[in-house]
Amino acid sequence: MSLEKVSLIISFVGIILLLFLSQNLEPKLVKISEINDKMTDSYVKIKGNLTEIRSLEGMQILNINDGTESISAVIYTKANLTKGAELEIQGKVVRYRSSLEIEAQKIKEI
Amino acid sequence: MLFEIFLVVFLGILAGLFTGLMPGIHINFVALLLLTSSAFLLQYFSVVALVCFIISMSISHSFFDFIPSIFLSAPNDETALSILPGHKLLMKGNGYAAVRLALIGCYLGLLLLIILVPISLISLPVIYGPAKKYMFFILILASLFLILSDRKKFLAFFIFGLSGILGLATLSLPMKQPLFPLLTGLFGTSMLFITIQQKVRLPKQKISELGIEKKETTKILGASVIASFFCSFLPGLGASQAAVLGSDMGGKISRRGFLVLLGSISTLVTALNFVAIYAISKPRSGTAIVVSKLLETFSLKYLIMFSLIMIIVGGISFVLALLIAKIFAKNIEKINYSKTSLFILLFLILMSVIFSGWLGLIVLVTATALGILCQIKGIRKMHLMGCIMLPVILYYL
- The 3-state DSSP class for residue B89 equals helix
Q: Which of B388, B26, B95 is nearest to B259 (CA)?
A: B95
From CA B156, how far away is CA B161, in angstroms rounded? 8
User: How many other C-beta atoms are found inside a 10 Å radius of the C-beta of residue B269?
Assistant: 27
Residue B387, sorted as left (phi over 0), alpha (psi -120 to 50) or beta, turns out to be: alpha
Q: Is the pTM of this model over 0.95?
A: no
d(CA A75, CA B142): 28
What is the C-alpha separation between B66 and B310, in angstroms, rounded?
18
Q: What pLDDT digit, counting tens, does each position of B284-317 carry?
A: 676 777 777 777 777 888 888 888 999 999 999 9
Which of B158, B21, B142, B11 has the alpha carbon at shortest distance from B76? B21
Q: Report DSSP state, residue A29.
A: B
Pairing mode, if any, of strands A70-75 and A99-109? Answer: parallel
- B214 CA to centre of own chain: 26
Which residue of A3, A17, A25 is in closest CB contact with B174? A25
A27-109: CATH topology is OB fold (Dihydrolipoamide Acetyltransferase, E2P) (2.40.50)
Q: Please give the C-alpha separations between residue B245 and each of B240, B252, B284, B336, in angstroms, as whole numbers.
A: 9, 11, 19, 37
What residue spans define the domains of chain B?
A: 2-69+82-395
Indicate yes or no: CB of B369 within 8 angstroms of CB of A14.
yes
Residue-range domain boundaries for chain A: 27-109
Q: Strands A59-65 and A70-75, how do they pair? A: antiparallel
DSSP for B327-343 reads HHHHHGGGS-HHHHHHH
Amino acid at B81: L
How many Å apart are CA B188 and CA B352, to the nearest integer? 12
Residues in chain A within 8 Å Cβ distance of B36: 37, 40, 95
Beta-carbon contacts of B66 under 8 Å, excluding residues fewer than 6 positions away, are B79, B82, B86, B99, B102, B103, B106, B263, B321
Task: List chain B residues with CB under 8 Å of A43.
Answer: 174-176
Secondary structure of residue B172 in the 3-state scheme: coil
CA distance A5 to chain B (A): 8
**Nearest chain A CA: its distance from B362 CA (Å):** 7
CA distance A48 to chain B (A): 20
Q: What is the pLDDT along chain B (397 residues), one digit of tens a residue?
A: 788 889 999 999 998 998 888 765 666 667 766 766 777 777 788 888 888 998 899 899 989 988 888 887 655 555 555 556 777 788 788 889 999 999 999 998 888 888 888 888 888 777 777 777 777 888 888 888 888 888 889 999 999 999 999 999 998 898 888 888 998 898 888 888 887 887 767 777 888 777 777 777 888 888 888 888 877 777 666 666 777 776 666 566 777 888 888 888 888 888 888 887 777 777 667 677 777 777 777 788 888 888 899 999 999 999 999 999 999 888 887 777 778 888 888 988 998 898 889 999 999 999 999 999 998 888 888 788 889 888 888 877 7
CB-closest option in A23, A90, A97 to B293: A97
Distance (Å, whole) CA B58 – CA B268:
11
Task: Report CA-CA distances (Å) from B97 to B18, B75, B91, B321.
Answer: 22, 17, 12, 12
3-state secondary structure of B117: helix
CB neighbourhood size of A2 (10 A): 8
Cβ distance A22 to B370 less than 8 Å, yes or no, reads no
Q: Can you say whether residue B330 is alpha, beta or left, with left for phi > 0 and alpha for psi between -120 and 50 degrees? A: alpha
Rg of chain A taking only CA atoms, in angstroms: 18
Element (H, E) at B66: helix B66-71
Instruction: Give the Cα separation of B352 and A54 in Å (integer).
Output: 37
